[in-house]
Amino acid sequence: MIRIIVSLLVVCHAGLALPEESAREIVQRADDKFRGKTSRSEMTMTISRPNWSRTVAMKSWSKGRDYALVLITAPAKEKGQAFLKRQNEMWQWVPAIDRMIKIPPSMMSQSWMGSDFTNDDLLKESSILLDYSHEKTGLETIRGYSCHKIELTPLPDAAVVWGKILLWIEEQDYLQIRAEFFDEESELVHTENFYDIRPMGDRTIPTRMEIIPAGKPGHSTTLLIDAIEYNTSIDDAFFSQQNMKRVR
Amino acid sequence: MRTLLKLAWRNLWRNARRTLITMASIFLAILLALIMRSWQLGSYRKMVRDVVRSYSGYVQIHRRGYWDNKTLEYSFIMADSLSLLLQQRAGVAGVIPRLESFALASGAEQTKGIMVVGIDPAAEHKLTALAGRITKGRYLSPDEPEVLVAERLAEFLRVTVDDTLVLLSQGYHGISAAGKYSICGLAHFASPQLNNQLVYIPLPVCQLFFSAENRLTSLAIDLEDPQKTAEVTAALRQRLPEADYEVMPWDDMQVELVQQIESDNAGGLIMLGILYVIVTFGIFGTLTMMIHERRREFGVMLAVGLRKSRLLTMLTIETAIMSALAIVLGSLASMPIIWHYTIHPPRFSGELAKAIENFGMEPVLPFLFESSVFIHQAWTVLILTALAAAWPLASVLKLRVVKALHG
């Protein structure tokens, strides 16, 4: 309840503050742009470690903030595994053992598919819009892009893992260029960089995202968007446990 | 000197009862000390054997860093050259390859974190007698996709032979690992730690499961003579490139066991020490009494011109004969007892047996029949007798002839 009131207050406040764009609006526009109403995409994830690297290919579907489905298409050993997110719940389908596994909250901070992403990153249970207060801290130029630097501080009763998030969002097109995630002791946990901004589907977005955990030299995970289609119609029923087993 | 020897011998049997009493106290001392010590050392030997033989092996080889960070990323490729190099070492009885990691195991309803061990069934059996632990079903075959599950774990998961066990984990390089395996047998392990979490699976199947083709996490080494662990470890360390492999003897891996033995041994030595003190005073007492009883006799001998130093020599010879005889007889008497219990170790029963089993040990009292124990105890008791005899014998030197004669 408190969270709703707080977010309502934030919204109202943002509304009053026009014409100057609020930090929250900037974050919202960037988030909307990247997410779309629905999306269908094909992606490749490369996990890099000091002595090895491996690549996982996947297809992904999403609808709004509540529904997402990810299907692994390569390597052969992992092909057919699917992850489903519905609201706050997440399941994994493992065809090799014919099992549907519910991923419990305790495993949210575990690595996803051995990468530097956590299950929580995939689920995005916490919302960078609703669970944080947003504050503009000026303009900064990152790799030639003039960006709004925005500091996100978690709301007092929000169930989030981060102590602070810094976002750099490009001024003109609301593209996220960089994000830094800090823990409760204000220590950097990981950095996300967004590259290769080009037209994809009906919009221009960064098509390569790299996540670098702090203090682990040689570790990184890169996510490459090979193709993406925004705002096609996807039925809610598509995001079902039955469909996880069927989807190709 | 010959006369003294003859005198001493005759003196001993002149009052046979007194001699036998003194000898009995030494005899009992050596008997008790031997039985106690051989039982203590036997149980340590057995503890080590049990632990080493139940799982770890006397020596293990890993890729450097594995012991501190037991993940598949610290696995190594099993090259034929490595296997050959190990097999050819003197003292090595067998090389047992393993791939170990953790997984979630699930039966119909329950799920539990477990340890998966990929093994070569034949080699593993030679070291740990694994096939003998089977309580239901049969042993693994070399490359069938089957698993052997620890009894308690199977109970927890509510599965039994011919059921399906589902394993889920993360393999080499983070690849997801998932598989369904038929349970071919259940095995009992004395150690609850093992009995609650072990799942054995044929090595090639395990390597496929973890996407770690041809990789191992450890090589367990079986030795011809367990007492040569340190030597073989040193030799292997010299032969293997130090930057790539770590060679660990069992006492480095089983630190808890070593500490347990050390603390128990300290307690055992205190018990032994108390026994020694009691025995020493016993010997001291009988000798003092003997000297006192024979004051008059000594007085006469001194009066007829025997020098005190010769008297002392004679008494020393008497004591030496008595203690040597008693020690030999005591050792001989203990041998059949120790031998018997070495072959048929006494078993605990009831609650106590359960408690001991819960500590992961067989509820038996094993003895150790080894020459070193006998030699060690014989020397100790001999030295103790010498100490106990020193004062009573020396008191002869202070003997006043007249006073002694008058008794």
B349-366 burial, b at 16+ Cβ within 10 Å, e below that, comes to: eeeeeeebeeebbebbeb
With an 8 Å Cβ cutoff, are A78 and B179 in contact?
Answer: no
Length, in residues, of chain B = 407
Q: Which parts of B240-370 fold into alpha helices (H)?
A: 250-253, 255-293, 295-303, 308-343, 350-358
Q: What is the pLDDT of residue A1?
A: 55
Q: What is the pLDDT of residue A20?
A: 63
Q: What is the pLDDT of residue A87?
A: 81
Least CA distance to B179: which residue of chain A?
A97
Strands B176-187 and B146-150: parallel
pLDDT band at residue A65 under the 50/70/90 scheme = confident
With an 8 Å Cβ cutoff, are A77 and B173 in contact?
Answer: no
Full domain range(s) for residue A50: 20-246
Structural domain includes residue A7:
no
Which two tokens mark A77? 């050993």
With an 8 Å Cβ cutoff, are A96 and B175 in contact?
Answer: no
Name the residue type at position B21.
I
A54 vs B106, B173, B180: nearest CB:
B173
CA distance B52 to B50: 6
Residues of A within 8 A of B179 (CB-CB) are 96-97
Least CA distance to B180: which residue of chain A?
A97
Residue for token pair 């020098």: B307
B179 vs A96, A101, A113: nearest CB:
A96
A114 vs B166, B167, B174: nearest CB:
B174
Structural domain includes residue A1:
no
| Chain A residues interacting with chain B (CB cutoff of 8 angstroms) | 47, 49, 52, 54, 75, 77-78, 81, 94, 96-99, 101, 111, 113-115
Backbone dihedral region for residue B69 (phi beyond 0: left; psi -120 to 50: alpha; all else: beta) = beta
Residue B111 to chain A, least CA–CA distance (Å) = 11
Measuring CA to CA, how many Å separate B83 from each of B90, B173, B208? 14, 25, 21
Q: What is the pLDDT of residue A125?
A: 55
CA B64 to chain centre: 29
DSSP annotation string for B213-235: TTEESEEEEEES-GGGHHHHHHH
Q: What is the pLDDT of residues B282-293, one digit of tens each?
A: 888 888 888 888
Q: What is the pLDDT of residues B170-179, one digit of tens each?
A: 888 888 888 9
Measuring CA to CA, how many Å separate B115 from each of A129, B102, B157, B200, B205? 42, 5, 14, 9, 15
A64-74 burial, b at 16+ Cβ within 10 Å, e below that, comes to: eeebbbbbbbe
Which two tokens mark A92? 């994994």
Domain tally for chain A?
Answer: 1
Q: Which of B120, B164, B166 has its CA nearest to residue B140?
A: B120
Instruction: Check: CB of residue A89 under 8 Å from CB of residue A107.
Output: no
pLDDT at A16 over 80: no
ipTM above 0.95, yes or no: no
pTM of the model: 0.73
Residues of A within 8 A of B173 (CB-CB) are 47, 49, 52, 54, 114
With an 8 Å Cβ cutoff, are A114 and B175 in contact?
Answer: yes
Chosen from B75, B168, B244 to mutate, greatest number of chain A CBs within 10 A = B168
Residue for token pair 């097999």: B87
Say yes or no: B180 contacts chain A, CB-CB below 8 A: yes
CA distance B64 to B60: 12
Structural domain includes residue A12:
no
CA distance A140 to A148: 6
CA distance B74 to B66: 5
Which residues are CB-neighbours of B331 under 8 A, at least 6 positions away?
Answer: B30, B34, B374, B377, B378
Chosen from B166, B210, B215 to mutate, greatest number of chain A CBs within 10 A = B166
How many CA atoms, within 13 angstroms, populate the side-chain half-sphere of residue B175?
25
* Beta bridge pairs of residue A93: A82, A100
CA distance A212 to A138: 24
Respond yes or no on whether the N-terminal peptide bond of residue A104 is cis (omega within 30° of 0). Answer: no
Q: What is the pLDDT of residues B151-193, one digit of tens each?
A: 999 999 999 999 999 998 888 888 888 899 999 999 988 778 8
Residues of B within 8 A of A54 (CB-CB) are 173-175
Q: Which helix (H) or strand (E) holds A123?
A: helix A119-123
pLDDT band at residue A18 under the 50/70/90 scheme = very low
Structural domain includes residue A11:
no
With an 8 Å Cβ cutoff, are A54 and B174 in contact?
Answer: yes
Q: What is the pLDDT of residue B325?
A: 93
With an 8 Å Cβ cutoff, are B106 and A47 in contact?
Answer: no
Residue B179 to chain A, least CA–CA distance (Å) = 6
CA distance B391 to B292: 13
| Mean pLDDT of the B384-399 span | 88
Structural domain includes residue A82:
yes
Instruction: Check: CB of residue B198 under 8 Å from CB of residue B150.
Output: yes
Other Cβ atoms less than 10 A from the Cβ of B259: the count is 10
| Mean pLDDT of the A114-130 span | 77
B173 vs A52, A99, A101: nearest CB:
A52
A113 vs B106, B176, B211: nearest CB:
B176
Q: What are phi and psi of B229, to 5 degrees?
A: -55, -50
Q: Which residue has the higher pLDDT, A6 or A219?
A: A219
Ranges of each domain in chain B: 2-52+257-405, 65-241
- The fraction of chain A above a pLDDT of 90, given in percent, is 28
Q: What is the pLDDT of residue A4?
A: 57
Residues of B within 8 A of A111 (CB-CB) are 174
A97 vs B73, B168, B173: nearest CB:
B168
Domain CATH for A87: 2.50.20.10
Residues of B within 8 A of A114 (CB-CB) are 170, 173-176
Structural domain includes residue A129:
yes
Angle at which helix B16-51 crosses helix B308-343, to 10 degrees, equals 40
Q: What is the pLDDT of residues B202-219, one digit of tens each?
A: 999 999 999 888 899 998
With an 8 Å Cβ cutoff, are B176 and A115 in contact?
Answer: no
Residues of B within 8 A of A99 (CB-CB) are 106, 166, 168, 178
CA distance B170 to B104: 10
pLDDT at A12 over 60: no
CB pairs under 8 A between A and B: 42
pLDDT band at residue A168 under the 50/70/90 scheme = very high
